[in-house]
Structure 1
Amino acid sequence: MSVQVPAAAGSTALDPKIAARLKRTGDGLVPAVVQQHDTLEVLMMGWMDDEALHRTLTTGRCTFWSRSRKEYWVKGATSGHAQWVKSAALDCDGDVILVKVDQVGAACHTGDRTCWDADDLGAVVGSPDQ
């Protein structure tokens, strides 16, 4: 299911049809993978609950739940490295959200473009390229 970001927020709660499809962790969260919309580069992963997903879909800015700080945060609110949402989709099981964005600046809190820039684990044993 793909959801296009609306032009303006209309309600104050996540659409019940979307909420019913979400499979949450024990603490009510769903992982959200963030991808650059035009290059398909995987940028980061964050956690969303119903409220964070609602805010993301209605404001056009990625909003996450911080498990360590126990608060909502809008990507780029303090760093200026904003994520402007182009679309959002649930995977077939409803347990992962894919958010396609236009990333401004670094996506990773370390200042790297993506959270996967610095730690390549190498080739997978048994892959066809070996």
Structure 2
Amino acid sequence: MPITFADPAAFTHAQLEEGTDFAPKFDAAGLVTVVTVEAGSNEVLMLAHMNAQALALTLETGIAHYWSRSRRALWKKGESSGEIQEVVELRTDCDQDAMVLVVRQTGRGAACHTGRKSCFYRRAVVAGNQVQLQDTGLPRLFDPAQIYKGH
């Protein structure tokens, strides 16, 4: 039997914030924002979105699934690269419109399609009146040209 979610409109503000009913608030596009962090280190690996199907599959299988806004498709993380994310815990914020997914990153340990551990491998640096991106030195754990050839 597939997982379903309570309708947030059926609850008061207090019930959403303090209750035990899981009633994710999807936005107008049917998505909820998800910050994915690594279990143990709590390092932010990526930011993505889930629709109801991706959220249900994530909870049912224990493997992270997302909704790709660019491809407009369901996306099982690591399906092409082997960099599967095993769910340790899913948390929601106070009003249930954002999630934190705590995962064990498998494979070579790369959550980013660029081959790095984290998608957050650059920092913004102010130089005079301009802002530039500076690489943090996070190494590539795989060559994306080899992994995604033919995709």
Please state which band the TM-score falls in when normalised by the shorter chain: 0.7 to 0.9
Unaligned stretches of 5+ in structure 2? Answer: 7-20, 127-151
Percent identity at matched positions?
A: 38
Q: Which residue of 2 aligns with 1:114?
A: 118
Question: How well do the aligned residues superpose, as a CA RMSD in angstroms?
Answer: 1.4
Determine if contact 1:14/1:53 at 8 Å carries over to the other structure: no
Q: Which protein is bigger by CA-based radius of gyration? A: 2
Higher RCO, Cα 8 Å, sep 6+: 1
TM-score, normalization by structure 1: 0.79
The residue type paired with residue 121 of structure 1 is A
- How far off its partner does 1:122 sit? 4.3
**Alpha-carbon distance in 1 for matches of 2:69, 2:124:** 26
| Length-normalised TM-score, structure 2 | 0.68
Q: What runs of 5+ residues in structure 1 fail to find an aligned partner?
A: 1-10, 124-130
Distance 1:116 1:64 in 2: 18
Structure 2 CA distance for aligned equivalents of residues 55 and 24 of structure 1? 16
Residue deviations 1:77-100 (CA, integer Å, cap 9, x gap): 110011000010101121111000
Question: Where does residue 3 of structure 2 map in the other structure?
Answer: 13
Alignment coverage as a number of residue pairs:
110
